[in-house]
Structure formats: C-alpha cells, structure tokens
Amino acid sequence: MDSGLQDLCQAVRCNANWKLAVENFSESYHLTWVHPSLNSCSRMEDHFNFEVGGPHGRQGSLLYRSGLIDGHSLPTFPNLDALKKQTVAEYITVFPNLMLGVHPDYFLVFLVNPLGPDTSAERMVFYFVGDAAMTPDHKMLRHLPIDLWQVTNDEDIEMIERMQVGRRSPGFDGGCFSPALEQTVYRFQQEIAQAVGE
Ligand SMILES: [Fe+2]
C-alpha cells in the first residue's frame, strides 16, 4: 500500500475487558446514544453488514464524507469507483482483537490488548494515501479523522468502562442478544467460547 503513517501510536488505557471494546466496534446501534454528534453525520440506519468470510465481524456506513478545509480534502485510494469514493466506509473486526476501518481517504488500524481481566490498552494507527497526504500542508486535514476518532473513542471508553462495572453487578444476568442488531456481537462471543473450549 502506498501510504503514509501518521504518528499517533500511543496506547490509551481502558478500564474494561478487551472483549467489550471489540464488541463495541462490531455494532453500530450504540451510535445514537453514545455518539450523538457522530450519529448526525453517520446515522445508525446508514450502516450495513457484509461478509468477508471466517470469524471476522464486519459492518459499514453508506454515508461517509471526507473532511474538507477550504474546499480541499485528502487524496483517496486509487481504483475506487465513484460511489465508494464519495460515501462508503467499512469496519472489519479480525478475530480476536484487531479492528480495521477502511475509508476512501485513510485506513485505520485499531488494536486492543488485554492488560488484565478488567484493563486493556487501545492503540490507533492511521495510514493515509501516498506521500501527498503526508505533507505539512495536509496536517490539518489528517487531523480531522484523527481528532474525530479520539473524541469518539473517548466516548466509547466511557461507555464500556461503565459496562465493565455493570458486569460485576449482582443484577447482571448475562443479558440477551437482539437478533436484528447484535448478530456480530453474538458471533464474536461464539468464537471466543470456541477458542477457550466452551
Ligand atoms: Fe462507538
């Protein structure tokens, strides 16, 4: 891939089990409540599921827009058709702990590593398209998605840390899955159960 690497590699500590972060990345129904500002430009109803084979989760959005500053945007990956160039973002969860965000103008690698049963370290690395995207005059454009992901992920961490607290509540009975909204989470948990021998 002819891409530039953005130097945003520091790990962020999250006081929750790593699997809660993966589950969070696998579904989009929390957008409405956890990310009201993000939901205004990437609504839950614009998201879709697709197949990539194997145990990997996948969802996408049909309403992605590249960031604009003074009418300029970052270069996009070559060989994208016009529709995908304008709109489509895809999010793939590679079992067990690697998450990928594929956008027309950047590629996100999101890794969550366990530090303990209720602590994890999250790391995001951004790849942009070609040397042209990495010039100093593109710095502000590069920071549009970086800053958005940092704000969004802070909101996610706050939520999953509360979920971690909830897991220890005597009132937590395991819950149940929504067949319409949580297929990807259900499949992830099935893979985990299989991996640890049920
Ligand atoms: Fe989220």
For residues 14 and 33, the model is more confident at: 14
CA of 31 to the centre of ligand 1 (A): 6
For ion ligand 1, residues whose CB falls within 5 Å: 156
Question: pLDDT by residue (tens digit) across 128-158?
Answer: 998 989 999 999 999 999 998 999 999 999 9
Q: For residue range 90-123, list pLDDT tens digits in order.
A: 888 899 999 999 999 999 999 999 999 999 999 9
Burial of 89 (0-12, 13-18, 19+ CB in 10 A): buried
Better pLDDT: 147 or 39: 147
What does residue 82 show for φ and ψ, rounded to 5 degrees?
Answer: -60, -40
Higher pLDDT: 20 or 54? It is: 20
Give residue 38 CA to ligand 1 midpoint distance, Å.
Answer: 9
Distance 43 CA to ligand 1 centre (A): 12
**In this model, does residue 182 exceed pLDDT 80?**
yes
What is the band of 68 on the pLDDT scale with cuts at 50, 70, 90?
A: confident
Centre of ligand 1 to C-alpha 159, Å, is 9
User: Ligand 1 centre and the CA of 16: distance in Å?
Assistant: 14
Cα distance between residue 175 and residue 42, in whole Å: 27
Lookup: tokens for 103: 């956008």
3-195 adopts what CATH topology?
A: Naphthalene 1,2-dioxygenase Alpha Subunit; Chain A, domain 1 (3.90.380)
Dist. CA 153 → ligand 1 center (Å)? 6
> In degrees to the nearest 10, what's the CA dihedral of 12, 150, 137, 103?
110
Please tell me whether residue 163 adopts helix, strand or coil conformation: helix
Question: What pTM was estimated for this model as a whole?
Answer: 0.86
Say how many Å lie between the CA of residue 94 and the centre of ligand 1.
Answer: 17
Q: What was the pLDDT predicted at 38? A: 74
**Is the Cβ–Cβ distance between 47 and 28 less than 8 Å?**
yes
**Distance from the alpha carbon of residue 89 to the mean position of ligand 1, in angstroms:** 15
- Judged against a pLDDT cut of 90, whether residue 160 lies above it is answered with yes
* Of 156 and 197, more confident: 156
CA of 24 to the centre of ligand 1 (A): 6
Q: Which contacts qualify for 91-95: CB closer than 8 Å, 24 or more apart?
A: 91/25, 91/58, 91/59, 91/60, 91/61, 92/52, 92/56, 92/57, 92/58, 93/22, 93/25, 93/26, 93/56, 93/57, 93/58, 93/184, 93/188, 94/56, 95/54, 95/55, 95/56, 95/57, 95/188, 95/191
